[in-house]
Amino acid sequence: MPVLDILEIRNILPHRYPMLLVDRIIELEPDRIVGIKNVTGNEPFFIGHFPDFPVMPGVLIIEAMAQVAGVLVLRKLEDRDKKLVLLASVEEAKFRKPVVPGDQLRIEMMVDKWKTSVAKMHGTATVDGVVVAEASVMCKLADKPAPKSQPEAVPAERTL
């Protein structure tokens, strides 16, 4: 059973399709989290990456890792609807094997350092127990900008 399902993840992360890259959280501890991304053939990036050999872009694997880390950072904040977790840096990223449709990414992220507004984590993404990617990411907690107000509609001129 998932610790957090997709509906609970959507209550924590602001991302939505096609950029929500976490399907469930299966383990959750104070300094460690494990998330799942089911990679399907109808992902929009497979149309062009690559048409004859679909491969999940490495930057999206890193994004999925950062989103799993973001769940760990945001989950306990009471005012999380007013916050964003921004990716501040990526270090030591390595891609070991292509991720293709039908794969299930298991993403494990562990906290290295955690301050009030910054968390540095390292993690691995595996498919069937084989490491496909690894990286260290730094996430920064920021206030969400206030929504921009919409200009008032100007009535069209009337002709007589």
**Does the active-site annotation cover 49?**
yes
Catalytic residue among 10, 24, 49, 120: 49
First-to-last alpha carbon distance for the chain, in angstroms, is 68
Contact 25, 37 (CB under 8 A): no
Nearest one of 7, 5, 16, 23 to 106, comparing CA atoms: 23
- Tokens coding 91: 């270090």
The CB-based long-range contact list for 115-119 (8 Å cut-off, 24+ gap) reads: 116/141, 117/141, 117/142, 118/88, 119/69, 119/72, 119/73
Length of the chain: 160
Token pair listed for 73: 């950072």
Active site residues: 49
